[in-house]
């Protein structure tokens, strides 16, 4: 059975930068730069222009990852797309990405799988991609995490505690087979559905008839603000994020029979700098072994870890031979970790 390794990485963020001060001056949000930084570490984020969706940004990240893997687009055997912000309720963005990459025109009607695990979507996708490659059924899997949060944020004072957190972007990796002694060594996933509604965006409810409130006279749907926008119990999310990230990381080390000193670089999901700092403090992780980009991008959910990977490779922080730990926590609650020999 071959090993599965990450053969190429790529990242993309839209050009428009929105600073914390812009949230106040352009959107009228009653907040300050200092208030946001103190609670989250975020200084700015990127917003896509109208007409741009997650698959559009995913194309840019995917093309970089494929090129960096030394492959052609037609070498890709499968697409996995992780997002909580697809273009439509259905179909998923995987098929849109396939078409935008030109694979349909080239006669490459490869499978496209969508993953809806929010902030832990990339780690769930990495587990799926590595398993597919190791099975021998496919060779090169394109895994993309992409988000267009800005279209679905309540950019007002009412929504500031959630809206100040998120940004747009995409990250991608190619997972390929190798006979070398390297690659994705183990992945560890978990979920706790008791907290499914603690962090959620309940735009519709399929248990209702109709699934959104609708005016009888003209059939127009009307969605209340508490359903339209994302809601979060921040303190409960923070507490569970710290606990579960530590737990699944320690499980990974135990199962792989490695010590924490063996890890050269930690790639934490970039949801909140304060969460990551708390995890690192409780695990006694040296600061030089962690990297962050949430200050510049905000929380791009499924895109955070692949964006971080791409930047680490480009800047030389992530080099062949290093042992890497990826850890994520998100809505659901869901969480996951992976140990990678780069």
Residue with tokens 């490695």: 258
> What pLDDT, on the 0 to 100 scale, is given for residue 26?
95
Q: pLDDT tens digits for the chain (342 residues)?
A: 899 999 999 999 999 999 999 999 999 999 999 999 999 999 999 999 999 999 999 999 999 999 999 999 999 999 999 999 999 999 999 999 999 999 999 999 999 999 999 999 999 999 999 999 999 999 999 999 999 999 999 999 999 999 999 999 999 999 999 999 999 999 999 999 999 999 999 999 999 999 999 998 999 999 998 899 999 999 999 999 999 999 999 999 999 999 989 999 999 999 999 999 999 999 999 999 999 999 999 999 999 999 999 999 999 999 999 999 999 999 999 999 999 999
List the one residue out of 312, 298, 310, 271 whose CA is nearest residue 17: 298
140 tagged catalytic:
no
299 tagged catalytic:
yes
Catalytic residue among 3, 272, 299, 326: 299
List the one residue out of 116, 43, 117 whose CA is nearest residue 293: 43
Determine how many CB atoms are found less than 10 A away from the CB of residue 296.
17
- Beta bridge partners of residue 176, listed in sequence order: 5
Catalytic residue among 269, 276, 293, 326: 269
- Beta bridge partners of residue 200, listed in sequence order: 231
Catalytic residue among 20, 46, 117, 119: 119
60 tagged catalytic:
no
Please, what are the domains in the chain?
A: 3-181 (3.40.47.10), 184-196+230-341 (3.40.47.10), 199-227 (no CATH)
> What pLDDT, on the 0 to 100 scale, is given for residue 1?
86
> What pLDDT, on the 0 to 100 scale, is given for residue 89?
93
Tokens at residue 156, please? 């007002």
The b-or-e profile of 226-264 (16+ CB within 10 A means b, else e) is: ebebbbbeeeebbebbbebbbbbbeebbeebebeeeebb
């Amino acid at each position: 059975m071959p090993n599965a390794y990450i053969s190429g990485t790529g990242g993309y963020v839209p050009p428009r930068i929105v600073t914390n001060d812009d949230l106040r001056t352009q959107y009228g949000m009653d907040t300050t730069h200092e208030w946001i930084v103190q609670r989250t570490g975020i200084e700015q984020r990127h917003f896509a222009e109208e007409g741009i969706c997650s698959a559009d940004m995913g194309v840019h990240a995917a093309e970089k990852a494929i090129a960096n893997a030394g492959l052609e687009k037609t070498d890709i055997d499968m697409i996995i797309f992780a997002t909580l912000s697809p273009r439509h309720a259905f179909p998923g963005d995987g098929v849109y990405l396939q078409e935008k990459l030109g694979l349909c025109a080239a006669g490459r009607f490869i499978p496209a799988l969508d993953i809806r695990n929010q902030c832990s979507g990339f780690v769930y996708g990495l587990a799926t991609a590595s398993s597919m490659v190791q099975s021998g059924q496919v060779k090169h899997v394109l895994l993309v995490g992409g988000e267009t949060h800005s279209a679905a944020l309540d950019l007002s004072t009412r929504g500031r505690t959630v809206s100040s957190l998120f940004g747009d972007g995409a990250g991608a990796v190619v997972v390929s087979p190798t006979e070398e002694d390297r690659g994705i060594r183990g992945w560890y996933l978990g979920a706790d559905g008791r907290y499914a509604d603690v962090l959620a965006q309940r735009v519709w409810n399929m248990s209702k008839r109709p699934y959104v409130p609708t005016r009888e006279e003209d059939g127009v749907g009307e969605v209340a603000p508490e359903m339209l926008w994302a809601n979060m119990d921040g303190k409960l999310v923070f507490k569970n994020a710290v606990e579960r990230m530590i737990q699944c990381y320690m499980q990974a080390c135990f199962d792989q029979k490695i010590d924490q000193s063996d890890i050269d670089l930690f790639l934490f999901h970039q949801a909140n700098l304060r969460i990551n700092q708390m995890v690192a403090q409780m695990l006694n992780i040296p600061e030089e072994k962690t990297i962050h980009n949430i200050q510049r991008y905000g929380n791009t959910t499924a895109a955070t870890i692949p964006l971080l990977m791409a930047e680490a490779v480009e800047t030389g922080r992530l080099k062949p031979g290093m042992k890497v730990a990826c850890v994520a926590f998100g809505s659901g609650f869901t969480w996951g970790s992976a140990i990678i020999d780069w």
